Structures are given as C-alpha cells and as structure tokens.
Structure 1
Amino acid sequence: MRIRHLSLLFLLMLSSSTYNKSDELEDNALIIQNTVEYNFKNKHDLESIIHALEGFLNTKNDSYLSNEFWIENDNSFYKYPFFEISNLENFGSIVLKPSLLSVTQINSEHFICKLGWFYNNEKSRSLQYIYNVSVVKKNERFLLKNILDYNIKDWEKKEIKRVTYWTDDSYKINIEKADEFNDINNKLSTFFESDVISFNFVLCNSNNELMRLIGYDFESSMFFSNQNGSIAFPDDRLIFSGNNNEINTHELVHLYLTEKFKNLNPYMNEGLASLFGGSKGLEYKDHLLKLKTHLISNEIDIYQEFFFGNYVIDFDTSLRYTLSAFICELTLKKFGKDKLFELINCGKSNYDIINYIKKYFEVNPNDFNDFIKYELENYDFKKRPKKLFY
C-alpha cells in the first residue's frame, strides 16, 4: 500500500514541477493541473465544480458555520465541517495556494476533488498536503461537502455506555477495555467536577488510517515510524484515535478541559492531557524519565527552549509536552486541585504561565532552569501514583 502511494506521490511531484503561471485562474484562488481537464470528459460539470471550489476558497474565511458553496447540514460529526480545509493554506507566515490535482466521479451526483498545497520557492516546489473534498450535485447546483461521511459509510457504530465507537467492520471491540474507558470517563468527570461527557470515538489502527479517514492522502505524520496518533474535536465531542485501542485518555482530557475552562492555556492543555493519558504511546513517567536523563548529558536553556522554542528530546518526547505535564503535576502536589485549575485557566499566553510560576512557586525566569533541574533530581519515580485523577 505504501509503495503504491509513494508511486502516486512521485508522479504528482513530477507533474507539479511543470506548472506555469498560465495554469492559474484569473482570481488567483486555485491552480488547475493540466491533466484535470484532459481526464474529465464532461466539461460543463467540470466548470461547475471548479466554480464551486473557487467560490468556496474566496469566501471560506467569512464564517466557519456556513458557506453558500458548501452544502447545509453537511454531516452528523462536525459542527464546523470545513474548518480543516480552510486552514491548510497557513504555512507559518506564508499562505499556500491550493492546486486541483484530480476530479473523480463516484456517480452522477457525487464527485471527489483531490487538492494539493505546495510550498514554492525560487528553486523548487514541495508538497505539503493532499486533501480530498466531496462535491455533490443538488438541485442542479454543485456544492462542497466534507468527505468523512463517505469514507466512514461502511464502518460499524456501537454505543457502549457514554462512548459511541466507530470501527472498521473487521474490528471486534474489546468490551473490557471499553468498560475501562467508561470508568476513566466517570472518574475524569469527578475530578473536573463536571457532567459525564458522551462522545464519538473513531477507532483507527494507525495515524495513517486516521488521516485518510478525515480526508488526507498526504500529510507528513502519516509516514512517521511511530504511527500512534490522535485528534480531538472538542466542539463536536469527537475523538479520532489512531492507537488501535479502545482507550485514549489523553484526548478525552482535552474534551473536559475545553468544556470547563474559558481561558485554557494551550501548553497546560497538552500538559494535563499528557500527565493523565501519556502521549505517543508512552506513559507520562516514561517521558519524564527521558527528560531527566537528557538534561544530565545535554546543557540547554530550559526556560528559553520551553517557552519560546520547539525543543524535542527524540521522535516521541518533546520538551513542551513533558515539561508542561511536570508543571501540572508539581502544582497539583504542592498546591492542590484548585490551584491546578487556576494554572490551566491562567490565559492563552506563555507569559501567563511565567507569571503564575513566579506568583505561586516564587521562581523568577532567571531561576527557572535550576528550579526544574532540582525538582527532577528529587523526583521519586517509584512513589508516583499511576493514575493521578483516581
């Protein structure tokens, strides 16, 4: 499967390298690959499909709730069905321009458009994403639609207490694990002093399958060696889990945090999710031990790299996730749950965390590195309870 995909990718890269400015439409919203018109015989339908794509791309930022070129009542999963495609153009400070790579006809009223986003510089053009979107014909109009309903149409749905599992028809749900996940859900509800959340849980065997299900043909994480990945959509009470397991505590924590806190700090959001549920298939204590070992043999500016950098220890462990989890644990142990909630809800900026640490831990930025090293040195991995929120 991967060889066939890479072969397709290689052909796409070759075709993309030959494009020129004449391929672009007048409004500059979409680049049409030369092969699209050649391979699609119904020119009138193709023009209508391109018109719908152009119209959406030119108006997508007006609202995430509705768009005149997107079908109403799109699906039963997403509150914002075109949020994903609307943000693929954002590549740091650069705005990527989408290319229409192909149009495939499923039937007389359903087509699938394959769109690519490329990063261009003076010497080369590199692929960043390939994403699929459905186009449906309704009352003689062509309208866009999220592809998830089509991709998941043959999957099985099974409600087990508060969790609605979606699985490939060949997968047999482990009821004991499903019951355990419901038990975790109840205990998280108690910890957060919130109502128990009911949610959809789409269980995939890998991150690659997960990303294909939500519409991607290419996104870099699909080809990482560690295929343990997951995505939460808190507004939809929806989790896509690529860990081939009925349990994903990390993403469930995100659902509770998003519902409870209005000023949720992004670092602490990931920190508490990692503290309670681990990440990348590893438990929190495994990440923390790797961090402690790494700092013994590597001299880094922890303060600078944590708050303003993107330092990674290895493929599975990042400074941001692990140290955020450690700060959450230290807060919970030293000051209790109320102060932990205050930390989590301290604001969107990293400076809000810095001010919190200065206020409660009485640690200034200049002393932050020594503070973290001291706490790690005195941390007893053997005594740490396995499930902090129980």
Structure 2
Amino acid sequence: MKKYVIAFVLILVSIQIQAQDFIVIPKHINIEGREKKKVIQQLDSLLHQIIIQKLDTNLISKNKRDFTISVIDKLMRYEQKKDSVAKLILDKQLINIYPIDSQQYSISVAYLYKKDEQIILPYIFTLIADCTKENITFSVPLNYLTRYWQKTKIGNITYFHQGKLDIEQAIIFDKKNTQIATLMGLKAEKMDFYMCDSYKEIMQLIGFDYSYSANGIATGGYGVIANTIFMNHEDFSHDVFHYYSGLVNKREDRNWIAEEGVAYTLGNAYYTDEEGKMVTQKRLIKELENYLIQNQDSTLWQLFKEDYPIFDSIANDLSVRSVISSIIVDEVLLKKGKIGVLELVNSGGGKKKFDNYMKTIDELIGINENNFNERIKKLMKDYK
C-alpha cells in the first residue's frame, strides 16, 4: 500500500522528475550504476514497443517466453483502447527497481491517468530483467516467485505447489485432459499448473501487483495460456475443454450454451465451494431438484431460458442453464456420439445462439420447448 500512496503523491504534488521517452522516473528512485541505467533504457524500449503494438520478442527472456508475451499482450490491448488525447500523455512511472541477484532486477511500473479531477491507477506491473553480457531481456516474475515451490509431475501435467497436492484430483485432471483432447480429435498437451490460494496471488505471479479490472476478485483461475494454468484446485478441466475447442472450432461457430454444457459434464462447474471442493455436475443437478421442490411455480424451461442465479449458496456465477445444458449434452453423446456433440458445439453463436441451440437439440434428440420440462425431468432421474 505504501508504494501506491507514493505513486499518487508524486503526481499530486508535482515532485521534480526525470524521464526517458516513455517512462517517468521520480527523482527519489536510485538509478545510479551503469547496468541499472542499461536496464531502464531497455525497459523504455519495451514500453515503446507495447505502445506502438510491435513487440520484438528478442526483448523477452527465453524461459516461458510465450507466456510472458501473452501477459504483455494485455498491456498492448490497454494501449490500443486509448483515445488520441490519452496517447499523448506520459502515463507510466517507475516506482521501484532493485537487484534480486547478480544478474537480475525486479522492476515495478505504475500506470496512472487523470479523469474528472481524479487520479486512476489501472495497473502496477512488475517485470524481471535478466542481464547478460550480450543482452537484457524481460519476463514476468512467475519463475522467480515460485523458485522454491514443490514440483510434481502427473502424466502430462506438471504441478507447482507450496502445500500438499491432492494426488487423486491431479490424476483425475490428467485423465480428463486426455479424454477431452481425444474428443476434439487432438493429442493431449503438456501443461504447467500453478496451485494458487487466490486470484490475487495469480495476478501477482503473472506481474500484476495491482489491476483495476481485477480489483476485489478473490476466486477463479487463469488459463490455459501458453500451456500454463493457475487455480486453487487441481482440476481445471472446465476451461481445458474450452481451450481444446478453440483449437479446432471457429469462434463464430461456437455455441457457448453448448460449450458450457460440455464443460460442466466432461469437466466440472469451474468454481469451488467455501470448503475448496470443486463443484460437480451431479451436485448441481441434486440442488436443481431441491430448488424445483421448494419453488413449485418454477419450471425447467423457465430456468433454462432466463438462467436465474439459483446456486449462489454454493458459489457465485454458477449457471442453471449450463447445468441443464450438460444434461442435454450427455443425452446427445449417448444417442449421437462425438459427432452429435461437435454439431451442437458448432451450431452457431452470437445473438441467435439460443435459437440455434434449441433448433439443433430438436434435430438431434427431439427436445424442444413443448416437451422440454418433461424430457429434462426424466433425464435428471438418471443422475440419482
């Protein structure tokens, strides 16, 4: 918190500063030393490339290069959204630089701008500078911050963790990774999986000490990005399905009602409950049954169409529509196999995704608005 206050005070009281072309360096920041000055010059070049949307990958350290590039892409998209006036403002300020060993520096940059007389802090972003005789390159602090973590390999998944790993759940995820890839006609990929306690910890590992858009978010995962996953549970199969689907299906064809249904049944519901247990399809179907008993005026069709939030007592953002879609997907898989599931997933998105979904399930297994309540209620009995 102290460094955030310093960053704001520097602007508000207009302390004397010095600057490179693309970053402000407050006078109190120690930049003495030949190597440190070279690091700052190279950082200035990197920020310029981010601004103009032309990243020279030679500036990025080789270790997990693709992942670092994907994170930097977030900063490039931020620059892309600026209007012409905002692009003229020097909005990046160096707030910390210090050596972490003989060949590395930790560097933190604050992004700041003024709107309606208010100072806004979009990001505090940290990079690691790797210094050699030949060059200076940058990476997110992931490797440095996890250098003392334990490492456990389960099949195609390499887990990085501080506490005890749930081996049983890790084995389940490795199997699901293979099953889902096979369904999509692909070979299962190797993944690096970082076990994190919170979303805040994930953001810090990838370089965002502060992110305006992630402020207040406590739960959830991050990935699959450059074959890297972050989560507070060993099973990330929900988003692994979306990942593999994105490799083979065109985005405009993907029906996200169907995609979520497949992810809920072949994977899981993505979120964990208050005890840290992964929420499963079977549990949610039971909860849905109880809800219908307690709310006799509600119908399955109504819940599916409107997607009311009925699972908030378990975890936020769980979808009743996705639960019902998962039941339908199971029936499609049973009656029409892999081809039927892929047809449903590729039935079309956009504004007509609901209509496209209903049209396709009617063609595949004869479920429509008229018989929806009866058919789904009957299918739900199979999960007891």
Give the TM-score, by structure 1 length: 0.70
Corresponding position: 1:278 with 2:269: yes
The one-letter code sitting in structure 2 at the alignment partner of 1:174 is: D
In 2: Cα distance, 1:123 partner to 1:86 partner: 29
Which amino acid is the alignment partner of residue 177 of structure 2? Answer: N
What's the Cα RMSD here?
Answer: 4.5
Which one of 86, 93, 115 corresponds to residue 99 of structure 1?
Answer: 93
Instruction: After TM superposition, list the pairs within 5 Å mapping 1:150-161 onto structure 2.
Output: 150-161=144-155
- What letter is aligned with 2:47? L
**CA distance in 2: counterparts of 1:210 and 1:379, whole angstroms:** 40
Q: 1:82 and 2:69 equivalent?
A: yes
For residue 376 of structure 1, report the CA deviation from its aligned partner: 10
Distance in 1 separating the partners of 2:123 and 2:379? 41
Residue from 196, 199, 222 that aligns with 1:231: 222
Distance 2:316 2:58 in 1: 42
Amino acid at match of 1:113: I
What's the secondary structure of 2:126's corresponding residue?
strand
Query: Does the C-alpha gap of structure 1 residues 207 and 380 become closer, same or farther in structure 2, counting only changes over 3 Å?
Result: farther
Distance in 2 between the 1:286 and 1:239 partners?
A: 25
- Name the structure 2 match of 1:247: 235
Change (3 A) 1:192 1:26: closer
Distance 1:297 1:19 in 2: 61
Matches within 5 A, 1:207-226: 207-219=199-211, 221=214, 223-224=216-217
Is structure 2 residue 121 aligned with structure 1 residue 124? no
Match of 1:383, SS? helix
> How many Å apart are 1:278 and its aligned residue?
0.6
In structure 2, do the counterparts of structure 1 residues 253 and 17 end up closer, same or farther at CA, with 3 Å as the change threshold? same
Contact 1:271–1:322 (CA under 8 A) maintained in structure 2: no
The reply to whether residue 166 of structure 1 matches residue 160 of structure 2 is yes
CA contact (8 A) 2:255 2:346 kept: no
Q: For 1:104 and 1:380, how far apart are their aligned partners in 2?
A: 64
Whether 1:195 aligns to 2:187 is yes
Query: Which residue does the alignment assign to 2:360?
Result: 360
Q: Return 5+ residue gaps in structure 1 as ranges.
A: 1-6, 364-369
Of the two, which has the highest radius of gyration? 2
Give the C-alpha shift of residue 371 in structure 1.
5.1
Map of 2:275 onto structure 1: none
Cα-to-partner distance string for 1:179-208 (whole Å, 9 max, x where unaligned): 333333344345444433332222223323
Please identify, of 13-22 and 116-125, the stretch whose mean Cα deviation from structure 2 is larger. Answer: 13-22
The DSSP-based 3-state class of the residue aligned with 2:97 is strand
Inter-CA distance 9–372: structure 2 relative to 1 (3 Å threshold): farther
- Bigger shift: residues 15-24 or 214-223: 15-24
Looking at structure 2, the residues matched to 142 and 302 of structure 1 have their Cα atoms a distance apart, in angstroms, of 56
Give the counterpart of 1:40 among 22, 27, 30.
30
Q: Is the 8 A contact 1:267 1:324 kept in 2?
A: no
- Is contact 1:265–1:345 with CA below 8 Å preserved after alignment? yes
Q: Of the candidates 21, 31, 56, which is equivalent to residue 67 of structure 1?
A: 56
Conserved? CA contact 1:230–1:251, under 8 Å: no
CA distance in 2, matches of 1:333, 1:272: 11
In the alignment of these two chains, the number of paired residues is 353
* 1:11 aligned residue: 5
Counterpart of 1:256, as a letter, is Y
Name structure 2 gaps, 5 residues minimum: 273-278
The CA distance in 1 between the partners of 2:248 and 2:13, in whole Å, is 49
Residue 256 of structure 1 corresponds to: 244
Distance 1:252 1:121, change over 3 A: same
Measured against aligned partners, the alpha-carbon deviations of 1:34-81 in whole angstroms (never above 9, x if no partner) come to 2xx4231416445433322221222237778x61661452x1x35242
Distance 1:208 1:48 in 2: 31
- Counterpart amino acid of residue 350 in structure 1: G
**Counterpart amino acid of residue 338 in structure 1:** I
Percent of counterpart pairs with the same letter?
18
- Matched position secondary structure for 2:75: coil
Is 1:138–2:137 an aligned residue pair? no
